[in-house]
Amino acid sequence: MSEDLWILGIHMTKFGKHPDRDMIDLASEAARGALSDAGVSMKDMGLLAAGCLMNANAGVGQMLQKQIGQTGIPVYNVANACATGATALRVAAMAVKSGEADYAMAVGVEKLAGAGLLAGGARKSDGDGTWQPHGRFGAVAPLDGRVGTETMPGVFAQIGMEYGHKYGGTSFELFAKISEKNHAHSTLNPLASYQKRFTLDEIMNDVMIAYPNTRPMCSANCDGAAAAVVVSGSTLKTLSAEQRKRAVKVSASVLTTDPWEEACQVLPNVNTLTRNAATEAYEQAGIGPEDLDLVELHDCFATAELVHYDNLMLCEQGGAVDFFQSGATWRDGKTPVNVSGGLESKGHPIAATGIANIWEVCTHLRGEAGDRQIEGAKAGLAHVIGLGSACGVHILEAAA
């Protein structure tokens, strides 16, 4: 159970609109790319974990096998909100750590281009203009439009405003500057959905989605896939020098859900489970936030990025505004955040995001990130959170 875990191969498709390709086409591209990057084949895999949220009951893993190699291995179809990809990787990691498999593969895929706002829970009346209770014992009802909102832009707008109310220093312009940073970073990422720099005025004067998030401050629904091959440390020792050189160590792999709290349960608490996951990850890895050379965090909205600086302990508690304003999170800052362009530019094909964030970190640790390379990167953190809630945090380190 103490077996080291390594990412041997990893790949992501270009995120964006792929009207001529279906979900399995994209998953196949990512899976084959990861296998090729690892220098192994499907016959080496001992387990496949396939993440897909919007088609969670479709048996994506089995359909994928029919394209890339049907070898009789266990297949796990995974759905866990926006943490689906990270959860699929956790399934593969646990198989390798337990000794069940020497190699395992995780894939995340989604077709989301044109999906519009996700997770709106408003329900029409029963036809006569009145509302009737639904759900368990007639007691469960959608919140949307009654005591708040269940649409993601609204939820994370509230979360960002709550942080500002608690600690001060936030403003519409401050949140827009976070988006300005991420869109600037995207110009160096050829796999991002959008590679366009926006001025602060353009961001602030765009369509308002849910104050303080305008359209460029929101993650973009899109199509995409990502896949990773993981291997045990003992197996890695038997491989070529080139494979060992490019392998990336998984120093921490953590998944958390909401702990019990005596508190209002209307507004989702994305903070506690993220801070818990980060704390456990730093303990597993034996390093601290000050040792990270880059971070890919779940900026589903500009407001979310700010609160996660604090949750991931990149700054002191309550210090996210000062941390951002110091310039630390830009590519040339002390702790570069979302050098990929983040979800606001790269796009957010939900189940693929968790693995794609890890792909970005791995690419820098291998020194293969091209114009956006963080020089000398040795350690990085990848983070995703899915409401419901689930949080995945992985800490990755370059091969010695």
Hey, where are the domains in the chain?
A: 5-114+220-398
Please tell me which residue in 11, 18, 82, 391 is annotated as part of the active site: 82
pLDDT digit string, tens, across residues 11-47? 999 999 999 999 999 999 999 999 999 999 999 999 9
Q: What are phi and psi of 229, to 5 degrees?
A: -110, 125
Concatenating the DSSP letter of every residue in 188-249 gives T-TTSS------HHHHHTS-EEETTEEGGGBPPP-BEEEEEEEEEHHHHTTS-HHHHHH-EE
pLDDT category, 268, cuts 50, 70, 90?
Answer: confident
- The answer to whether residue 348 is catalytic is yes
Structural contact between residues 49 and 106, judged by C-beta atoms closer than 8 angstroms: yes
Please tell me which residue in 11, 185, 348, 394 is annotated as part of the active site: 348
- The answer to whether residue 82 is catalytic is yes
Q: What are phi and psi of 299, to 5 degrees?
A: -90, 60
Which pLDDT score, from 0 to 100, does residue 56 have?
80
Summarize the confidence of residues 35-64 as an average pLDDT: 95
pLDDT digit string, tens, across residues 103-159? 999 999 999 987 766 554 444 455 666 666 666 655 555 656 655 677 888 889 999
Domain 5-114+220-398 has what CATH class?
alpha beta
Q: How is residue 104 annotated by DSSP?
A: E
Which pLDDT score, from 0 to 100, does residue 57 have?
80
